[in-house]
Structure 1
């Protein structure tokens, strides 16, 4: 393992711990000696990392530190590029532009060798032949989710029946050929899923729904048996 990669791994380990972690534990996880660990800690501190603590007591990384030259490993870069390419091909215009802009910003802070990895990665996102339900309404739905606003929805089910309902949107699932709005439905008094291509019309109300979206998301995950490491 290169020293640069080791420093990156050290930063990542410290980020996982909210409370001080001993030098011995850090050294064991990295597979290095305590002396090497102390040198690495000092190097990171010299580069601006706000690492509090000292040998024998433990170390903790205060929030907010970024280390641009060591921000991503090569595989992390590949994951970012692949994900951004998928979004750029399948997202609505605003989300696609945001994905491309994010890659440009990442490239701007990477050192030359990692920037070359970003530019030359051969992981590709296959084209979406259907381009189903990519419409101008998706940005407004995302805004309603971020701001926790109620939506009055006119929705057509699989049998062609149209209903009107007030919902509390808290997530938007992007599948290969369809987008699914996940929301608490006041009519059904439960969490329901709404395909965006079946939404006939909707209006975002300037009315905040009573629950926080993270609480609704947690409730949905528990209902669906989805662990946090999957989403």
Structure 2
């Protein structure tokens, strides 16, 4: 049985940061190199959390058989690294949420599938995110989401039982990982959820419409405990 929430882990892209402008720009540069038009806004919204593979597959329709997917990914990463924070911003409501967690002494961290070198380049632009007590990236371990091990590793580093951790993310694989780790999985409803996505079927504990909704939920939990 899950314990009350004692720590919070966050996905990065589409949960803490709106990285779509810079990731889409990198993808569009790759597409232009191969005489393809740019991504639509709908494609960007639906695929940014799936990284290079998601954006390029959407842009090409499918990766052409005569092109090497790994080479395309390297080209994408090269463009993205050059302009990693030209248009990226922290989502409205995240700063108050993190301030609340700090004030309540609730440990929090980041568990992202973003490669470590890109995460290390990006986070210094957002000092508030560097306060995370743990940062686990897509290549920290030999497996990444939807495998639960990175989440279990993060909770162990925080010193909090995995069943007492919440994981906040904006795609189905985030909820698959959270459930496999027996964590409280909540959908970041403000993130990169496309029109064809159905978060109500992702077996999450709930869908948070805004970051502040997590504050409200934690306050209700605390009030319930105080009344017992």
Fold shared, TM-score > 0.5 on shorter chain: no
Larger radius of gyration: 1
Name the structure with the higher strand share.
1
- TM-score by length of structure 2 reads 0.28
Which structure has the higher relative contact order (CA within 8 Å, separation 6+)?
Answer: 2
